[in-house]
Every structure is written in structure tokens, then in C-alpha cells.
Amino acid sequence: MEQTNPENVTIGKQIWMTRNLNTTTFRNGDPIFQAKNEGEWLEASQAKKPACCFQDFHPANEARYGRLYNWYAVGDPRGISPEGWHVPNDREWLELIDSVGGEFASMKLKSRQGWRDRYNGTNESGFGGLPGGGCTYGGGFIFQHQYGFWWGSTVDKNGAASTIVLFDMSQAVGRYTYDKSLGQSVRCLKDAV
């Protein structure tokens, strides 16, 4: 692992951002709707509309966690990642996990602080995963300080989108699919040259 600058880190053969995405616009400059309360998030979920929000709808959480996005924002053809970056697919997430120790790599991916109780990680990888929790279909918040959820770009045959999960009480890295209306963090991977 080689630190390239404070904003990204080389892990194996990949270059990752060291912070969660925190953009309010798509790559072309169009705004991403920002939900400010449960009702606005629910409306976006029902309309399958791209949306983002702060954890707990509170702007004070922006600096630490960035924003949570539904998958309609992640998968929008206008592009949510900055130029030269993208939301990783399942294969790219697996490459990251394998390069830091396999399915029990959670400790090396988790930040050194911010997790509840005594469940902080070592962050040996430099990834700095934080427990930002998630936002439900209806705009409720779950698992703050316990789980970190990050969208992937892969969608399964049932239309659910891939997610990587770090847990407070486990060294395992979870791989799941979730409904696209959920709000989760996004971490970008540099495009291959």
C-alpha cells in the first residue's frame, strides 16, 4: 500500500478515495435532489428519483460521513463520480477485499475511530471506512456507528444493487444486495489507465 495523497490511497493495484462521496451534482453539472426530511426521502423513493441526504438529515454530519445516496443517483447515466473515477462493481470490490486479507479484512478497512464501543479498526489499508449507517425507504436512519454500507455498481437479476458492508462486531466483510431506494455511502475507485 502506498499513500498517493490525503484524498486517495493505493491498495493493491487500485486507487481509492479515502473519503465518502460528498457531491450535490452529477458529472454534467445537473443537481442531485437533496432530501431534507423523511417525507422528501420517501417521495424520492416512491418516484425512483435520484436523491441524497445527510446522515440524520443533519448538515453537521457532512464533514465526517459525506452524503448518503440512493442507487437511483448512483446508477444515473449522468454519472455521480468525478471525472476519472467510478463506483466500483462487484469484481472491483472483491479485488479490494482480497488485497487486504480476504473475507475477514474488515479491521484493515475500518477507521481507527468512530465505531461504537471498542470496535474500531486498524485502517492498515488506508481505506478509512466509517460507520455511516443507512437511510431506509421511508427516510428512517439505521445502524449509525455500527455498520458502514457502500454501494456497488452491479445490479442482480432481480433489480437489487450490490453493497459492501463493514460491521462493528465482526471482522468479516459483508456482500449483499439491497433495494435501490436505500441511502448508503459511496466510495469511488479511480478508472484504470
pLDDT tens, residue order, the chain (193 aa): 334 456 999 999 999 999 999 999 999 999 999 999 999 999 999 999 999 999 999 999 999 999 999 999 999 999 999 999 999 999 999 999 999 999 889 999 999 999 988 899 999 999 999 999 999 999 999 999 999 999 999 999 999 999 999 999 999 999 999 999 999 999 999 998 7
Query: Which pLDDT score is estimated for 1?
Result: 35
Residue 113 confidence (pLDDT): 93
Nearest by Cα to 187 from 102, 61, 74: 74
Place of cell 423513493: 45
How would you classify the pairing of strands 51-53 and 33-34? parallel
Residues 151-170, buried b or exposed e (16+ Cβ, 10 A)?
Answer: bbbbbeeeebbbbbbbbbee
Dihedral angle sign, alpha carbons of residues 45, 51, 157, 176: negative
Q: For position 118, what pLDDT does the model report?
A: 86
pLDDT of residue 5: 59
Q: How many CB atoms lie within 10 A of CB 104?
A: 13
